[in-house]
Amino acid sequence: MAGAPSSLARLLLLLLLAAGCLLPLVADAARLTLSLAPAADALLRLKAGIKDDGGALGSWSPDTSPCADGGPSWKGVLCNKDGVHGLQLEGMGLSGTLDLRALTSLPGPGLRTLSFMNNEFAGPLPNVKELSGLRAVFLSENKFSGVIPADAFAGMGSLKKVVLSNNDFTGPIPASLADAPRLLELRLNDNKFQGKIPDLKQEELTEVNLANNELEGEIPASLKSMTSDMFAGNKKLCGPPLGAKCEAPPTPSPKAHPQASVKEGTTPSQAAADTVASTGASSADDPKQDEGQEPVEGSISFGVSAALLGTLLIAGVAFIALRRRRGYKTKNFGPTASSSRPSGPPRVEPHPPAAKAPAAAGGVAHGGGAARKAEQGRLTFVRDDRGRFFELQDLLKATAEVLGAANLGVCYRATLTTGQSVVVKRFKEMNRVGREDFEEHMRRLGRLSHPNLLPLVAYYYRKEEKLLIHDYVPNRSLANLLHGGGESGGMKKAAVHWAARLKIVKGVARALSYLYDELCMLTVPHGHLKSSNILLDAHHGPLLTDYALVPVMNQSHAAQLMVAFKSPERKQFGRSSKKSDVWCLGLLILEILTGRPPTYDPPKAAAPSGELSSSQQKPGPAAGNTDLVTVVGSTPEGEWLNTVVDRDLRGEEEEDKEEMVKLIRVGMACCESNVDNRWELKTAIERIEELKAKERPDEEQATVIDEDYSDVALN
């Protein structure tokens, strides 16, 4: 019994020590709970004003915490070690009122990012300056309207990105944007802003998109380095970089004296002074100027001759600059997309020295060598599983073969001196983002890995153009497989069996689902899904290309060229949605089953139902005038197999034909013009995965009708 007290004492000591160890943990947990409680309260007050018919914010529950285990537990909430630092509530169908004042009570440093893109919010711009610490504000693709107060962004010293595009804002651009010292990106395109553009002099400003508004006047000198498409759609804007010239200021009154202008603190323009001197208008009103002076007969002729000589000199310099510019375009990976196709494969040459460009063309007189070295740069490889197997100079020395001139750029097969081939896609319409954001997005694409995605290997950045480098795939695209083609007209389509077509559809759907999971922050993760952007491997497995390029494309060019921007909701409401890629998938399914190319524009007249002739099944005027959705929708379901389905599939077994009808239904559900009634991608994929086909050996998947099918080509 003597040992009992000592044992009890040791037990008590151990309990005290354990309590001492647990107390800090309990205290930390308590502090975290206390810090998150105000955050939850603030977010719930914000939610109270939001209309959430779809239940997207169902995880925002009073009995839970917005951040847990070092990450977010509420949908759309961004967390870090300090708590809530951002909201990303995009494409959720939200509407109602955004009471940002409720968020001022968030503990810690406060919100840094705020994004409500692609929702249904309406009314005036929320009072964002209540959150003075914001670095990024994304409110594009909503229904906000009205005049934005001039001081709407006053005091926001950390603000870097403001994206208000695709709304209905009116009135002048808020002057307080010019006072945001760290502004990097400003996108106000596709609104109804009026008046003149404020002078945005921020040194780090890399993108200003003001296209499709009602702005007027001369573009400020601080923005003249931007591309012209950033100002397109403003009929009354003038000056560089637009081609529209600004009207010359009115000439001074003949009775005005130059001294008066000096007293007012201004100086007459040189053009006005030259006008007065050449016409002699001032002399006529001031007799004292003519005393003792007689007009010299040859003075005016000498002035005209000098002006003519100067004009010829400028024209000569411009002509030389233009010749050099054209030489650059044709030597660097062949012609641009608008150039004619060369008769033979060109030899790739290095860029001509930029420093030799005339000063009139924008050349830099000093430090040209360093500028050229920095501009030329290096290839950047983005794959962790791939080594650096060639350099830029190897690419410049490679033999380039033009594979196709698609609407986004020109595609080449570059054969290196080692004999290895890569595909180089040259883009001209990627001036939307600066180098830092472009490189960040390329690294994001480099991390993607899926058996049905053609991986990005490397890229090359220049301000004027970008090169994206992929592995070379010798097979043709799905468009060539289904429709044939070729400039000589000798390339014919292949008879592709149902099993091969279903395999392609499943591969495309899986890759699309992967993009939606990995790039969930993008409204349109693919953006350009069509048959010519799907390559086929040796076993007829699909490889998607040109995916996730919307963030780095110029908005105006994306709207004109990319397939997702042809969707019904884009045409109806002026904005894309998460289901725009689903619409593209539906059209692709109908194309694969009917064997005819789709048209992405609505038909001018109702298309007749009935048999698709063989001429309609090939590319041509007849095929381009009938919308696939209209053709299938106007044909009774019982007649699909005899009138809509490709002739090459009509000999399949009855079980396979039943599966074809099911897939057509999936395609039509994905092509629903009402975006609310259109299937979700998840639903479409589940139905596609349920479909079956009789397995065939790889050599029987597609019967090639023309032996030239094995030639190298790529759309």
In the block, residue with structure tokens 């009139």 = 360
Distances (CA, A) of 272 to 261, 307, 353, 362: 12, 15, 39, 26
- Buried b / exposed e across 153-174, counting CB within 10 Å, b at 16+? beebeebbbbbbbbbebeeebb
Sheet architecture: strand order including 466-471: 380-381, 456-461, 466-471, 421-427, 409-415, 399-406
Provide mean pLDDT across the span 147-152. 93
The answer to whether residue 402 is domain-embedded is yes
Report residue 156 as tokens: 């926001």
Q: Which CATH number fits the domain that encloses residue 638?
A: 1.10.510.10
* pLDDT, tens digit (0-9, with 9 covering 90-100), for 157-172: 899 999 999 999 999 9
More confident residue, 207 or 375: 207
Would you say 90 and 118 are in contact if contact means Cβ atoms under 8 Å apart?
Answer: yes
pLDDT for the residue 360: 28
Residue whose pair of structure tokens reads 């007009």 in the numeric block:
295
d(CA 623, CA 639): 20
**Among 36, 46, 60, which residue's Cα sits nearest to residue 102?**
46
Candidate from 66-80, 333-347, 390-404, 463-477 with smallest mean pLDDT: 333-347
Question: Which of residues 583 and 702 earns the better pLDDT score?
Answer: 583
Residue 475's pLDDT band (cuts 50, 70, 90) = confident
Choose the weakest-confidence range: 321-335, 365-379, 452-466.
321-335
Give the pLDDT of residue 640.
93
Which ranges of 106-257 does DSSP label H, i.e. alpha helix?
none
At residue 409, does pLDDT exceed 60?
Answer: yes
Q: Identify the domain boundary among 214, 238, 262.
A: 238
Please answer whether residues 398 and 389 qualify as being in contact, where contact means their C-beta atoms are separated by less than 8 angstroms: no
259: in domain = no
pLDDT digits (tens, 9 = 90+) for 629-648: 999 999 999 999 999 999 98
Report long-range pairs for 122-125 (Cβ below 8 Å, ≥24 apart): 122/95, 123/97, 124/148, 125/152, 125/164, 125/169
Element (H, E) at 343: none
Q: Which whole-number Å values give the CA distances from 577 to 14, 433, 553, 668, in the listed order?
A: 61, 21, 17, 18
> Which of 168-177, 285-294, 564-573 is least confident?
285-294
| Mean of pLDDT over the chain | 74
Q: Is residue 251 part of a domain?
A: no
pLDDT value of residue 405: 65
Rounded mean pLDDT of 237-263? 63
User: Which one, of 209, 144, 153, lies nearest residue 177 by Cα?
Assistant: 153
Q: Domain containing 86: what range?
A: 24-238
Burial (Cβ within 10 Å: 0-12, 13-18, ≥19) of residue 528: buried
CATH classification of the domain holding 429: 3.30.200.20
| Same domain for 118 and 215 | yes
Taking the C-alpha atoms of residue 651 and residue 451, their distance in angstroms, rounded to an integer, is: 31
Q: What percent of the chain has pLDDT over 70?
A: 68
Asked if residue 249 has pLDDT above 80, the reply is: no
**Which token pair is 186?**
């400003």
- Token pair listed for 433: 């983002």
pLDDT at 198: 94
pLDDT at site 625: 37
Structure confidence at residue 123 (pLDDT): 93
Last residue of one domain, picked from the residues 238, 268, 292: 238
Cα distances (angstroms) measured from residue 189 to each of 178, 199, 214, 240, 555: 17, 17, 10, 18, 9
> pLDDT confidence of 432, banded at 50, 70, 90?
low
Q: How many helices (H) and strands (E) does the chain have?
A: 17, 27
Domain presence at residue 256: no
Residue 496 and residue 698: Cα distance in Å, rounded? 11
Pair 431, 438: CB distance under 8 Å: no
Q: What is the DSSP string of 220-238?
A: PGGGTTS-GGGSTT-TEEE
Which residue in 595, 602, 656, 660 sits closest to 629, CA to CA? 602
Instruction: Sort 22 into a burial class: Cβ within 10 Å, 0-12 / 13-18 / 19+.
Output: exposed
How far is residue 177's CA from residue 150's CA, in Å, rounded to a whole number?
Answer: 9
Q: How many CA atoms lie within 13 A of 356 on its CB side?
A: 9
Return the top range by mean pLDDT from 52-66, 267-281, 661-675: 661-675
| pLDDT over 90 at 307, yes or no | no
C-beta atoms surrounding 457 within 10 Å: 19
* 511 in the same domain as 450: no
Same domain, 218 and 202: yes
Residues 567 and 436 in one domain: no
Residue 605: Cβ within 10 Å count: 8
Residue 669: is its pLDDT beyond 60? yes
User: For residue range 114-139, what is the model confidence (pLDDT) as tens digits?
Assistant: 999 989 999 999 999 889 889 999 99
Same domain, 465 and 535: no
Give the residue-averaged pLDDT of 591-608: 69
Residue by residue, DSSP assigns 386-397 as S-----HHHHHH
Whether the Cβ atoms of residue 589 and residue 632 lie closer than 8 Å to each other:
no
Last residue of a domain, one of 457, 472, 487: 472
**Which residues pair with residue 147 across a beta bridge?**
170
Evaluate whether residue 298 is within a structural domain.
Answer: no
Of the candidates 324, 380, 319, the one whose C-alpha atom is nearest the C-alpha of residue 351 is: 324
How many Cβ atoms from other residues are within 10 Å of residue 559's Cβ? 19
Question: Higher model confidence: residue 263 or residue 15?
Answer: 15
Question: Model confidence at 152, in pLDDT bands (50, 70, 90)?
Answer: very high
CA 53, 572, 715, 649 dihedral sign is positive
Mean pLDDT of 563-579: 87
The token pair at 521 is 């922050």
What confidence score (pLDDT) does residue 34 get?
A: 40
Residues 462, 531: one domain? no
Average pLDDT over residues 64-81: 82
pLDDT of 678 higher than 60: yes
Specify the pLDDT at position 83: 83
Model confidence at 492, pLDDT cuts 50, 70, 90, reads low
Q: What percentage of the chain has pLDDT greater than the value 90?
A: 35
Q: Which of 254-268, 559-573, 667-681 is modeled with the greatest confidence?
A: 667-681
Q: What confidence score (pLDDT) does residue 343 get?
A: 33
Q: Indicate whether 464 and 501 sit together in one domain.
A: no
Whether 558 is covered by a domain: the verdict is: yes
Predicted pLDDT of residue 326 = 36
Tokens of residue 427, six digits: 């883009």
Q: How confident is the model at residue 515 (pLDDT cuts 50, 70, 90)?
A: very high
What are 23-40's pLDDT values in tens digits?
444 444 444 344 457 888
Amino acid making up residue 383:
R
Q: How many domains, the chain? A: 3
Same-domain check for residues 464 and 489: no
Same domain, 508 and 454: no
List the structure tokens of 241: 């970089």
Going by pLDDT thresholds of 50, 70 and 90, the confidence category of residue 558 is confident
The pLDDT of residue 572 is 82
Same domain, 170 and 31: yes
What is the domain-level CATH number for residue 220? 3.80.10.10
Write the burial class of residue 229 (CB in 10 Å: 0-12 exposed, 13-18 middle, 19+ buried). buried
Looking at the domain assignment, is residue 254 inside a domain? no
Cis upstream peptide for 268 (omega within 30°):
no
> Predicted confidence band at 309 (pLDDT cuts at 50, 70, 90)?
low
Residues 205 and 228 sit within 8 Å (Cβ to Cβ): no
* Alpha helices (runs of H) in 105-213, residue ranges in sequence order: none
Band (pLDDT 50/70/90 cuts) for residue 696 is low
Cα separation, 576 vs 554, in Å, equals 15
Closest CA to 75 of 95, 94, 53, 56: 56
Residue 521: the pLDDT is: 85
188-234 per-position pLDDT tens digit: 999 999 999 999 988 888 889 999 999 999 999 889 888 888 898 99
The tokens 């990627």 sit on which residue?
430
In a domain, residue 368? The reply is no
517, 395 Cβ separation under 8 angstroms? no
560 and 447 inside one domain: no
Pick the most confident of 104-108, 157-161, 336-340, 489-493: 157-161
Q: How confident is the model at residue 615 (pLDDT cuts 50, 70, 90)?
A: very low
Q: What is the distance between the alpha carbons of residues 562 and 557, in angstroms, rounded to a whole number? A: 8
Structure tokens at 311: 């004009």
Instruction: Identify whether residues 457 and 543 lie together within a single domain.
Output: no
| Residue 178: how many other CB atoms lie within 10 Å | 18
